[in-house]
Amino acid sequence: MPNVKVVNMKGAEVGTIDLSEKVFGAEVNGAVLHTAVRAYLMNQRQGTQSALTRTEVSGGGKKPWRQKGTGRARQGSTRAPQWTHGGVVFAPKPRSYRVTINKKVRQQALMSALSAKVADNDLVVVDAIVAEEYKTKVMAEMLTAVGAKKKVLVVLADNDAKVIGSFANIEGAKTAQTNTINVYDILNADTLVIAKGAVEKIEEVYA
């Protein structure tokens, strides 16, 4: 059972916490992580790209010159792909890139990602992350105090508007709640800073 220290917003150790072996001490499955990250990135694509094929480009109805006798290559239309202003070969069209993975795979990937952060000592548990007002400086000082690296994901137990707003202008910092965390954001962050209340909620759901 992983045991990590709990710090306050000033970086001082205030205790320790035993993390769930199932959630934070699971075997890291690279294949499942790849599947989850790929699905996440594919689902971010809009799929709205579009170009015109030779049948959709205006003009080109008249044959440029007669078939034989000119010494030039035969041409049927000035809108063929080899012509300037011609259509596009195999033109991209709007499509859905959506990929779905089943619930058990999603859960296994999330537990693998959390366990990887614990194994790499990149998880910091804070007893409480609070803000009395919108203050970027307070949150920036907290990240420095707890030893967070450049890219950090802060996981909160609740949707605290003042805390989220205070992190908004910090470069490389991103906030999430326990019901919105995803594998990509966890792996993309250099440090995972998580409130103690959020740890309890995650364990309640997945353990």
pLDDT in tens, 74-100: 999 999 999 999 999 999 999 999 999
User: What tokens appear for 151 in the block?
Assistant: 């890219």
Confidence (pLDDT) at 2? 81
Rg (CA), the chain: 27
**Segment 157-183 mean pLDDT:** 92
pTM: 0.82
pLDDT digits (tens, 9 = 90+) for 96-130: 999 999 999 999 999 999 999 999 999 999 999 99
User: What is the rounded average pLDDT for all residues in the chain?
Assistant: 93
**Where do the domains of the chain lie, and which CATH numbers do they carry?**
3-45+101-206 (3.40.1370.10), 46-96 (no CATH)
- Cα three-residue angle 6-122-176, rounded to 5 degrees: 80
